[in-house]
Amino acid sequence: MDLSPHLRWFLLKEEDPRSGPWNMAVDEHLFRSLTEEPRTVVRFYQWERPTASLGCGQAAEKVIDMGFCRANGVDVVRRMTGGKLVLHHHEVTYSICSSDVETFSLTVAGSYRLISEGLIQGLARLGLDPVLAGAPPSSYARGTMPCFAHPGRDEVEIDGRKIIGSAQKRTGGKFLQHGSIPLAADEALLRAVSRKDFGADEIRMISLSEASGRPVSYESAVEHLVSGLAEFFKVAFEPLRMTGEDLAAIEHLRANKYATGAWTFRAETGA
């Protein structure tokens, strides 16, 4: 029996880590592929090297130590979404693209909260007790601290520490939201990558392994997150098949946008 588009979502679960420019190009391609017809795609992926991602409006020179990154093999990319600096390393990264306005709110805040609640359902299946975070202090919202320095409103936290950091891009009824879920935190590397000097208690992040008290693998985390999303949204997943045309479009975006300094280091006046 065919399910309605509101009840059937597509799943792209990637086993092999890929480069930062490729990962960002895939997410943008999935977003661009949305039409007015209701469709939702959930993707899980990894990064082949430690990679710092900038929000689309951030000025690189204000938030990232490029000398350290170049000397220590840390890649740098710019996202199409907003938000703050994120270091992608030993993590599960998710993205959700949707044009389903019946399931998701037409507002950034509404859809953001729904996705957080679905991810919470997945983390609960790992035996964790995550909750939605309240409003962050104004100093964090206005400042240049990294994303994982503090939970933002309706992000996911455990014991007051952020476990999922997300950002969203919306155009009308279509949106892309993607986010970072650390499997194991590397606060020392995050501090080294960031240009901001901050105290020992100013990074309020926690990883899946620390929260669980045991190592959590990418495969295990993804399995539970998929189950949690399916249960919360009451949907069935169907594998997404990439065509040669899809891959060519992604490669074009990678080579001509995300792998270029013109995009990554463009002059901005944001935080």
pLDDT digits (tens, 9 = 90+) for 28-51: 999 999 999 999 999 999 999 999
Instruction: Residue count of the chain, please give it.
Output: 271
Domains in the chain, please, with CATH? 8-264 (3.30.930.10)
Residue 58 to residue 94: CA distance in whole angstroms: 21
Strand partners, 174: 171
Which tokens is 117 given?
């609640």
Catalytic residue check, 69? no
Query: Dihedral, CA atoms, 255, 253, 17, 133, nearest 10 degrees?
Result: 130
pLDDT band at 151 (very low <50, low <70, confident <90, very high): low
Convert the pLDDT of each residue in 180-216 to its tens digit. 999 998 888 988 998 766 555 566 789 999 999 999 9
Which tokens is 7 given?
């009840």
Percent of the chain with pLDDT over 70: 87
Residue 201's pLDDT is 53
| Ordered alpha helix ranges (H), 101-236 | 108-124, 138-142, 187-193, 208-212, 218-233
Catalytic residue among 56, 69, 97, 147: 147
The residue assigned the tokens 């993804």 is: 222
**Crossing angle (nearest 10°) for helices 20-32 and 244-253:** 120
pLDDT band at 136 (very low <50, low <70, confident <90, very high): low
Residue 224 to residue 64: CA distance in whole angstroms: 33
- CB neighbour burial string for 28-40, b if at least 16 within 10 angstroms, e if fewer: bbbbeebeeebbb
Mean pLDDT within 157-183: 94
- Report the predicted TM-score, pTM, of the whole model to 2 decimal places: 0.90
